[in-house]
């Protein structure tokens, strides 16, 4: 799958072209803060792409770890929250949630997650979680506040959807949090992450072929030529 990946983090916005392969993902920036790359930035991007090729095995392992952590967070849902039915939109059913006072978090991530109140949308036809959004309804302190805290009112919103038949992808991740860590250093987490313009690539696409596509301008235009029937 080929797609555009846009991340707006603490006021800095970058857009990448990303190609997914069985061996991992490769990406290359195409816009930085809304502007096309300079010649120097393109050279730096080419060097970065070379490092990605060399480090792909490590990067793919880290992605799997991130995915595993996400799965652990989702596995908390049945026990960590109390649910009530909300609205219905076609095949989507809304479930409103609030913290279950009987649940005891076992990690800092779980503490933050458990302090949330919000809603999830479930695709009942495909048994998929389509969207989850929440808001911190209380201040979260780590080690009694010695390691820091997150302020009440922080929000997050995550959405995934079917971008091709039977193929679901994360399409949006918005996070806004305020707090302090360790020696009362103020932190501000503002992240908007979107993925769009998904296009299929051959299932047997190699890493070398993916890298070559990214090196050429307009990789997205190449997909139609590669996947077109002969």
DSSP codes of every residue in 145-190: GTSEEE-TT-EEEEEEEEEETTEEEEEEEEEEEEEEETTTEEEEEE
Which one of 82-86, 126-130, 221-225 scores highest in mean pLDDT?
82-86
Percent of the chain with pLDDT over 90: 22
User: Is 76's pLDDT higher than 90?
Assistant: no
Q: Report pLDDT for 154.
A: 92
Q: Is the pLDDT of residue 66 over 80?
A: no
Higher-confidence residue of 223 and 37: namely 37
Q: Which run of H or of E encompasses 53? A: helix 39-54
Q: How many CB atoms lie under 10 A from the CB of residue 148? A: 19
Helix (H) or strand (E) run with residue 1 in it: none
pLDDT in tens, 9-31: 777 888 988 888 777 777 888 88
Taking residue 2's Cβ as centre, other Cβ atoms within 10 Å add up to: 22
The least confident of 15-19, 89-93, 120-124 is 15-19
Query: What value does the mean pLDDT of the chain take?
Result: 79
pLDDT band at 143 (very low <50, low <70, confident <90, very high): confident
- Report whether pLDDT(5) > 80: yes
Sign, CA dihedral 80-105-160-202, equals negative
Query: Mean pLDDT throughout 193-214?
Result: 83
Report the run of H or E that residue 85 belongs to, with start and end.
Answer: strand 81-89
Q: Where are the domains of the chain?
A: 94-197
Cα gap 57→51, rounded to integer Å: 11
Task: Give dist(CA 129, CA 201) in Å, integer.
Answer: 25
């Amino acid at each position: 799958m080929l797609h555009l990946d846009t991340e707006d983090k603490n006021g800095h916005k970058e857009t990448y072209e990303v190609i997914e392969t069985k061996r991992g993902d490769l990406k290359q920036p195409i816009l930085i803060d809304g502007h096309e790359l300079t010649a120097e930035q393109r050279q730096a991007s080419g060097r970065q792409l070379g490092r990605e090729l060399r480090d792909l095995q490590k990067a793919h392992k880290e992605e799997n770890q991130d995915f595993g952590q996400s799965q652990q967070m989702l596995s908390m849902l049945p026990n960590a929250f109390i649910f009530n039915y909300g609205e219905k939109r076609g095949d989507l059913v809304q479930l409103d949630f609030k913290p279950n006072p009987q649940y005891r978090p076992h990690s800092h991530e779980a503490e933050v997650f458990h302090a949330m109140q919000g809603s999830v949308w479930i695709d009942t036809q495909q048994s998929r979680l389509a969207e989850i959004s929440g808001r911190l309804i209380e201040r979260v302190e780590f080690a009694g506040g010695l390691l820091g805290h997150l302020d009440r009112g922080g929000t997050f919103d995550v959405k995934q959807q079917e971008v091709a038949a039977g193929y679901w992808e994360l399409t949006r991740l918005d996070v806004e949090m305020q707090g302090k860590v360790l020696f009362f250093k103020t932190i501000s987490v503002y992240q908007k992450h979107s993925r769009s313009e998904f296009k299929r690539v051959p299932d047997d696409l190699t890493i070398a072929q993916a890298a070559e596509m990214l090196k050429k301008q307009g990789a997205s235009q190449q997909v139609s030529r590669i996947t077109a029937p002969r």
